[in-house]
Amino acid sequence: MSKFVVGLTGGIGSGKTTVANLFAEQGIDLVDADIVAREVVEIGSEGLNKLSEHFGTRILKLDSSLNRSALREIIFNNPTHRDWVNKLLHPLIRIEMLKQLDSAVSAYTILIAPLLFENDLDRLVNRTLMVDISTQEQVKRTSTRDSVSQEQVHRIIESQAPRAKKLQRADDVIDNHGEISALKSKVIALHNNYIKLSNNA
């Protein structure tokens, strides 16, 4: 099968999961960068073993799984620790992501990566697709879905690359202001184009 990969990105609550599921309905395999990032620190993984050798049991929960908030706290104000953790985990994430992309069997594969551009993961893909909605709609949809305040959503939006920058860098943009039925037609049109592109790759 072709190893053509489309990187799917967009800000918080823009509709990446919704769009990815519509591609999956067309038979397209998905790899999710956030899931991979959790898999490389599962109990028994090289990632978690190395983290606990370095930082000790203070980064573990009672069941020996990673205590994410403890690790976040440690690296928050300490760039040396943060760099060490990034140097450990980024290559592990990249290797696992490539492994999963490699075992995908559909005509092309979607890599869902909220921080596609921020983490330079666009280098791993053949084409980039951004799901786009206004900041106002992002805040509305995210705070309806999750029990988070509008201020928290704004803070997360500010930590991500600006919408304008992503719009500029993406090869394709899918506007998600409309109804889900409209979104589905747009996904099908993109899907047909990606099939063509992957055949020519």
Ligand X SMILES: Nc1ncnc2c1ncn2[C@@H]1O[C@H](COP(=O)(O)OP(=O)(O)OP(=O)(O)O)[C@@H](O)[C@H]1O
**Residues forming the site for ligand X (CB under 6 A):** 10, 12-18, 114, 141, 145, 176, 180, 183
Specify the residue for token string 């889900």.
180
Q: How far is the CB of 51 from ligand X (least distance, A)?
A: 24
The continuous run of DSSP H or E covering 64 comes out as: none
Using a CB cutoff of 8 Å and minimum separation of 24, what contacts does 182-187 make? 183/15, 183/18, 183/19, 183/22, 184/22, 187/19, 187/22, 187/23, 187/26
Please say which residue, 159 or 199, places its beta carbon nearer to ligand X. 159
The annotation status of 57 as a binding-site residue, yes or no, is: no
- Sheet-wide strand order for 172-175: 29-32, 108-112, 4-9, 127-132, 172-175
The annotation status of 11 as a binding-site residue, yes or no, is: no
The annotation status of 184 as a binding-site residue, yes or no, is: no
As given in the structure block, the two tokens for residue 116 are 């596609």
The annotation status of 18 as a binding-site residue, yes or no, is: yes
Q: How far is the CB of 22 from ligand X (least distance, A)?
A: 10
The annotation status of 9 as a binding-site residue, yes or no, is: no
The annotation status of 13 as a binding-site residue, yes or no, is: yes
Q: How far is the CB of 201 from ligand X (least distance, A)?
A: 27
Please say which residue, 15 or 47, places its beta carbon nearer to ligand X. 15
Contact indicator for 20, 8 with CB cutoff of 8 Å:
yes
Please say which residue, 59 or 183, places its beta carbon nearer to ligand X. 183
CA distance 138 to 154: 9
Q: What is the DSSP letter of 130?
A: E
Please say which residue, 5 or 131, places its beta carbon nearer to ligand X. 131
Please say which residue, 7 or 13, places its beta carbon nearer to ligand X. 13
15 alpha carbon, distance to own chain's centre: 12
Q: How far is the CB of 13 from ligand X (least distance, A)?
A: 4
Q: How far is the CB of 160 from ligand X (least distance, A)?
A: 9
Known binding residues are: 13-18
Known binding residues for ATP are: 13-18
